A and B are shown apart, each in its own frame.
Chain A
Amino acid sequence: MSVRNYLRPERLPTYWCPGCGDGLVITSMAEVFEELHCDEKNTVLVSGIGCAARAPGYFTLESVHGLHGRAVPIAEGIKIVRPELNVVIISGDGDLLGIGLNHLIHASRRDTDIKVICIDNQIYGMTGGQKSPTTALGVKTLTSPEGNTDRPVDCQALIKAHNSFYARATTFHLPLLKKAIRAAMEHRGFAMVDVRSQCPVNYGRRLGYRNAYEMLMHFKQHYKPVKGVVDRLAHDEIGITSENPKSQIQNPNSA
């Protein structure tokens, strides 16, 4: 299958605003799916609710677009019943790290073999720009007009607390993003890819970014890619961490 075959042209244009990072992430996912020969018989996508959570609907793979915060238990139900399927979640920071954080931690504790791709735009995009659990300290949003005073969730610490796979990338560093998604797909067990992405309309605009390009340039300057597989990433580093041995993707077609 070529990359194009993973996406539904009849659904274009997407629901997303111009400049949104979500499109970059789904393109990277489609490229990885092609490399790994994922198809509608061996791979299923799951999401919660939010802008990012609309992603599965643009894929030709079978998918479930569930409830806000509940992508993880839906994915776990699927994986337990059909262990031969690759079950991949794609959803937002509010969805996975706010309302659904409980499930995320428990799934990583259970080491359920699901892949979680979190598009972290540090904002509740769909609902108009309220602070999210990953909004940085001091950042002004609709609901933090004086600057956010809640410390952001440390996703890496939570996931690595159970020795699960964690990788971080941005929508500027696309080769690394692809590498991270692929490593997560090839990991056997719970895997999380934390993708820092831009929401120019409901986040960047209020902070003085004039467009998505300026936000991407910020990612370029702020985040430092690390080489190889490391134990832990500093807050401004991106790359792959893993303590568990790697293994081949489960692909019933190549079995």
Chain B
Amino acid sequence: MTHKLILQGNDAVALGAVKAGLRFFAGYPITPASEILHKLVEFPEVKVLQMEDEIASINACVGASLAGAKAMTATSGPGFSLMQEGIGLAHMVEAPLVVVNVQRVGPSTGMPTFGSQGDLLQCRYGSHGDYFSIVFYPNSVSELYRYTMEAMNAAEESLSPVILLSDGIIGHLSETAELEDVTIKERSLKPLGHGNRHFTSLTHTGSYPKATAPSAHQELIAGLAKKTADVARRYVRYEYLPVKGSHTLLIAFGAVSRAAYHFKDHFSIFRPVRIFPMIEDLKEIARRYKTVIVMEMNAGQYTLLVEALLHRPVGFIPLLGGAINLEYIKERIKKCLSGTT
């Protein structure tokens, strides 16, 4: 069943989470993510904690998750930075939860009310050590609703923290949204208080710390990698809009992909929604194009990874300081095509 209404992006995240069975939310106010916290307070079935900081919030989510609740937190860049160690913990103790990051311009306090896409590499590599987060990045209010549910499902299936990326533009956007149902995955892990398990942040085998055994570590990391990759394969989510006769593929996601749609009659467009792990199909798709151009609101983060995936140089259009200007994009595309970037 679907129904239509006018909704703000952040509210859609809150509604999607509730629909997916959210029972616990811990967060700390921050622009442009606070509306998620504000909205969730309205739902008696969700225990909402406003904590002393984002470190407490992510750790409380780990505790709540292991205790049996579907848990989520939401923040923006500064808070996301503070949460990195906790995200690593959630991977290590295999606690399913969702971290929403409504990106704003950084580094540091940056431009709090302006959207950005500067946290992509932090999503992938922000915590220390090897781990493999599944990350979704929708581009509309409808999709924010849907992918909040998918993120919660993927977390349950992978027993890992899944990141839902948003940005200040789509987070604060109000538009007509279609709320589409998604089949909800239930918790498979037994909650705390059901056995003799010891969940530890140390390298471990089952309940036993193995902090000095290289083989135990190799096994653990290989296991985590395989587990998240297997689940990610069930969530191959992207949009591909080919144009007959185009030799150019534009890659964009989140708010920027909405600007890319303006060029969809001239250039083919590829929009990854599950942005990590990267969509393998892109390798095959990109082969059909002479030029691949990534447009993103940062200094070239996804571009770097697209080049690594495709083993070829790609064009890049940086959109910095919260500005998305179609004339500027047009100019930059021209420059990419004439080889004078």
Tell me which residues across on chain B come within 8 A of A81, comparing CB atoms.
23-24, 47, 63-64, 67-69
Q: Are A77 and B59 in contact (CB under 8 A)?
A: yes
Q: List 21 A-B contacts (CB under 8 A).
A: A40-B193, A40-B194, A41-B193, A44-B193, A49-B201, A60-B196, A61-B196, A62-B193, A64-B62, A66-B59, A67-B59, A72-B56, A73-B26, A73-B56, A73-B59, A74-B60, A76-B60, A85-B67, A102-B53, A103-B56, A106-B52
* Interface bits B240-271 vs A (CB < 8 Å: 1, else 0): 00000000000000000000000000000000
Q: Does A63 contact B (CB under 8 A)?
A: yes
Task: Enumerate chain A interface residues (CB-CB to B < 8 A).
Answer: 11, 40-42, 44, 46, 49, 54, 56-57, 60-67, 70, 72-82, 85, 102-103, 106
Given A40-B195, A41-B194, A102-B53, 5 more pairs with CB closer than 8 A: A56-B198, A65-B209, A66-B62, A76-B56, A81-B64
**Stretch among B85-93, B105-113, B165-173, B279-287 lining the A interface:** B85-93
Among the listed A46, A62, A66, A106, which residue makes an inter-chain contact with B197, where contact means beta carbons less than 8 Å apart? Answer: A62
Q: Does B236 contact A (CB under 8 A)?
A: no
Among the listed A64, A72, A82, which residue makes an inter-chain contact with B199, where contact means beta carbons less than 8 Å apart? Answer: A64
Q: Does B319 contact A (CB under 8 A)?
A: no
Q: Are B194 and A74 in contact (CB under 8 A)?
A: no
Tell me which residues across on chain A come within 8 A of B26, comparing CB atoms.
73, 77
Q: Does B57 contact A (CB under 8 A)?
A: yes
A11: nearest chain-B partner, CB-CB: B208
* Interface bits B38-71 vs A (CB < 8 Å: 1, else 0): 0000000001010111011101111111111101
Q: Are B196 and A80 in contact (CB under 8 A)?
A: no
Tell me which residues across on chain B come within 8 A of A56, comparing CB atoms.
198
Task: Enumerate chain B interface residues (CB-CB to A < 8 A).
Answer: 23-24, 26, 47, 49, 51-53, 55-57, 59-69, 71, 85-86, 89, 93, 191-202, 207-209
Q: Are A46 and B63 in contact (CB under 8 A)?
A: yes
A71: nearest chain-B partner, CB-CB: B59
Tell me which residues across on chain B come within 8 A of A49, comparing CB atoms.
201
A74: nearest chain-B partner, CB-CB: B63
B200: nearest chain-A partner, CB-CB: A65
Q: Are A102 and B47 in contact (CB under 8 A)?
A: no
Q: Are B197 and A77 in contact (CB under 8 A)?
A: no
Q: Are A57 and B193 in contact (CB under 8 A)?
A: no
Tell me which residues across on chain A come within 8 A of B67, comparing CB atoms.
44, 77-78, 81-82, 85
B60: nearest chain-A partner, CB-CB: A77
A85 to B63, CA, bound (A): 13
Tell me which residues across on chain A come within 8 A of B93, comparing CB atoms.
64, 66
Given A56-B198, A63-B199, A65-B200, the answer on whether A78 and B66 have CB atoms closer than 8 Å is yes
Q: Are B49 and A63 in contact (CB under 8 A)?
A: no
Closest chain A CB from B262 CB (angstroms): 44
Q: Are B198 and A77 in contact (CB under 8 A)?
A: no
Closest chain A CB from B45 CB (angstroms): 12
A106 to B55, CA, bound (A): 13
A62 to B68, CA, bound (A): 13
A76 to B48, CA, bound (A): 12
Q: Are B53 and A78 in contact (CB under 8 A)?
A: no
Given A49-B201, A81-B68, A106-B51, the answer on whether A40 and B59 have CB atoms closer than 8 Å is no
A44 to B192, CA, bound (A): 7
Tell me which residues across on chain B come within 8 A of A74, comparing CB atoms.
59-60, 62-63
Q: Are A77 and B71 in contact (CB under 8 A)?
A: yes
A110: nearest chain-B partner, CB-CB: B49
Which residue, B23, B51, B193, B202, has most C-beta atoms of chain A within 10 A? B193
Q: Are A57 and B198 in contact (CB under 8 A)?
A: yes
A62 to B201, CA, bound (A): 14
Which residue, B66, B191, B209, has most C-beta atoms of chain A within 10 A? B66
A64 to B95, CA, bound (A): 11
Tell me which residues across on chain A come within 8 A of B71, comparing CB atoms.
77
Q: Are A42 and B193 in contact (CB under 8 A)?
A: yes
Q: Are A75 and B192 in contact (CB under 8 A)?
A: no
Q: Are A82 and B68 in contact (CB under 8 A)?
A: yes
Tell me which residues across on chain A come within 8 A of B199, comparing CB atoms.
63-65
Q: Are B85 and A67 in contact (CB under 8 A)?
A: yes
Closest chain B CB from A23 CB (angstroms): 17
A40 to B55, CA, bound (A): 28
Given A40-B193, A103-B52, the answer on whether A57 and B200 have CB atoms closer than 8 Å is yes
Among the listed A64, A75, A76, which residue makes an inter-chain contact with B49, where contact means beta carbons less than 8 Å apart? Answer: A76
